[in-house]
Amino acid sequence: MGGAKGTSLKARRQLRSQATSTQIADAPPQGEAQPVITVAGTSMIADLAGALYWPDQRLLVVADLHLEKGSSFAARGVLLPPYDTLATLGQLSAVIARFDPKAVIALGDSFHDGEAHQRLSAANRDHLAALQARRDWIWIVGNHDPELPCALGGTVASELAIGAINFRHEPTGARGEIAGHLHPKARIAARGRAIERRCFASDGERLVMPSFGAYTGGLSIRDAAFLRVFGAPGFHAHVLGDRQLYTVAAARCC
């Protein structure tokens, strides 16, 4: 799978955030203890919906929305229910309401295919615009959506660095990297029962985000692809439970 291919239309600039690390983080909107994941010394809040929030920057990160995946299959004769974009945007707007971020990064594969944004219904398009209002919105391109039109609103970029953290779609294994693309999921089995959930995969230095889209399946974190990202088997799965986040050794999963 190729990364972002350069085109004349797309602004392929690298954004350097002006934000400084001295910025005071707002108190989290909820009173409960927020599960924290540390990436290269930076603390982030892991949301159970599969989003990551960086309080210092008031920045929300979601990966692999795969909007219009349903209609993408429909065009090929598999008439999946056309409610996935509605469901994904619904989830996203709930997370945005929770954190009220100043900026949102969609970490690539936000649209399931190159024409997906054209298939957005008017209602969904309005919904998206409402979410983008009053905040910065950055579309990082992915292999599913290497080109994104300006009409979508927000800024298009191939990657983004803020302080020690680098945001890109496909993980390279670099220190301080937050990526998506792999859709990590963890399967835990015991006593003849098994549970499978999406998860953040991290070794403390780099992190792979869970996929956020309603129809996005997952890849077991025991797949060799994760070993390539982390270099050693000692990484963790931060599993999205119903009530809380559970941190499990990747080797414990199957």
Output the smallest distance, CB 190 to another protein, in A.
6
Is 142:180 a contact under the CB 8 Å cutoff? yes
The distance between the two most distant Cα atoms of the chain, rounded to a whole number of Å, is 56
Output phi, psi for 40, to 5 deg. Answer: 50, 45
Is 39:204 a contact under the CB 8 Å cutoff? yes
Q: Using the rule CB under 8 A, is 173 a contact of another protein?
A: no
Structure tokens at 147: 């080109």
Binders of another protein among residues 183 to 212 (CB under 8 A) are 183, 187-195, 197
Q: Using the rule CB under 8 A, is 222 a contact of another protein?
A: yes
Binders of another protein among residues 227 to 246 (CB under 8 A) are 227, 233, 236, 239, 241-244, 246
Q: Using the rule CB under 8 A, is 216 a contact of another protein?
A: yes
Is 117:109 a contact under the CB 8 Å cutoff? no
Is 229:205 a contact under the CB 8 Å cutoff? no
* Candidate ranges 16-24, 32-40, 82-90, 92-100; the one touching another protein (CB under 8 A): 82-90
Structure tokens at 91: 């989830």
Question: For another protein, what does the binding mask look like between residues 49 and 78, x meaning CB under 8 A?
Answer: --------------------x-x-xxx-xx
Question: For another protein, what does the binding mask look like between residues 83 and 102, x meaning CB under 8 A?
Answer: xx-xx---------------
Gap between the Cα atoms of 231 and 206, Å rounded = 11
Q: Using the rule CB under 8 A, is 133 a contact of another protein?
A: no
Q: Using the rule CB under 8 A, is 111 a contact of another protein?
A: no
CB nearer another protein, residue 58 or residue 236? 236
Q: Using the rule CB under 8 A, is 2 a contact of another protein?
A: no
Which residues fall within 8 angstroms of residue 177, CB to CB, at 6 or more apart? 165, 166, 167, 168, 171, 206, 207
